[in-house]
Amino acid sequence: MIRFRWEKLLLWVVLTTVVAMAVGQLAAWVGGYLRPVVVFALLVGCLLGGMLVVGIRLLDLAHRSSILVGLVLAGVICTGSEHWGAYRQAKREYERTLADWQAKTQGLVALSHQFAQALQQQLPRPPSSFAEYLASQLERGRPIGPWLLKGNWVWISWVLEAALVLLAAGGVVWPTLRWPYCSSCESWYRTIRQGRLLPADLAQWAELFQIPVFHPESARRFRAQFRLLQCLGQCSAGRLQLVWENPHGQLQRWEVKLDTLQREKLNTIWEEASDQAHSSDSTSASACFPNRSS
């Protein structure tokens, strides 16, 4: 049973807020140059989800309700931050346009002040607030690909984009919750050792751990890897994950929570393999540099 922690929830909310605001500002900047329909919102959501996964691992947070709250909050803040960034870009664009106009019409202002005022009225009026900027998009329309959306369709496009961002972020975050978690020390399992296995090694491990593995006739098409996981508090002997490829090219997976005896046998296997590798290295060195008697 994963316990709820107020301090972790508070840190999680702060982290998701900062990350979502940063991703939203980045999306607004990139969207000013390139904004493919649908794909852009999915990419923003994947980026947001990847950064949230890093936060989940750093905080050792596994309480699903807390993660869901932060995920929804991040999606809303990211969308709002993106619109705020677009509003700031629109204001800066107007200021640049006004500066160019003043530079070009500086001589006309000296000749006829009324004519200069008439030209200035032709410039679009900048939005005085964020709310006015959103209202102007509803009135003038929002270009989406080859379409120009107006009125309620603008609201619908905003809601759909926010939903796509949230869906993509959730698709990245939620699978990570299947990673092993230790409720005793409240930490995710980390990889402490990994490597590849030869057919003889896998056969030895299959006999030790009672793994239902098909032994290949040759090692030409054989691939196997192992990974040993351990929580921060070392509350258990760890978890062992094996992945191997059968002769038909299909990946087989197997995972077990080790007990103390199995972990000791596994350490013995690794020590014997290390001793054999050290002995073979010493033998090779002796063959290359034989002792010379005077």
User: What angle is formed at CA 67 by the lines to CA 162 and CA 20, rounded to 5 degrees?
Assistant: 45
In angstroms, the CA 162 to CA 75 distance is 7
In angstroms, the CA 257 to CA 269 distance is 18
Model confidence at 263, pLDDT cuts 50, 70, 90, reads confident
Q: What is the pLDDT of residues 50-63, one digit of tens each?
A: 999 999 999 999 99
Given this model, what pLDDT does residue 277 score?
60
Chain centre distance of CA 216: 37
Length of the chain: 294
Two tokens at 39?
Answer: 């794909």
Give the residue ranges of DSSP H helices in the chain: 6-31, 39-59, 64-104, 106-111, 113-121, 130-140, 152-173, 199-209, 260-288
Q: Which of 243, 233, 254 is nearest to 189 (CA)?
A: 233
Given this model, what pLDDT does residue 268 score?
85
In angstroms, the CA 144 to CA 148 distance is 6
Given this model, what pLDDT does residue 279 score?
63
Alpha carbons within 13 angstroms on the beta-carbon side of residue 143 total 7
> Which run of H or E residues covers position 63?
none
Q: Are 241 and 231 in contact (CB under 8 A)?
A: no
Residue 211 has pLDDT above 60, yes or no: yes
**Beta bridge partners of residue 243, listed in sequence order:** 225, 253
Average the pLDDT over 15-42 and give the result: 90
Average the pLDDT over 189-197 and give the result: 88
| 98 or 181, which is more confident | 181
Given this model, what pLDDT does residue 152 score?
83
| 4 or 97, which is more confident | 4
Residue 189 DSSP symbol: -
Average the pLDDT over 237-266 and give the result: 83
Given this model, what pLDDT does residue 166 score?
95
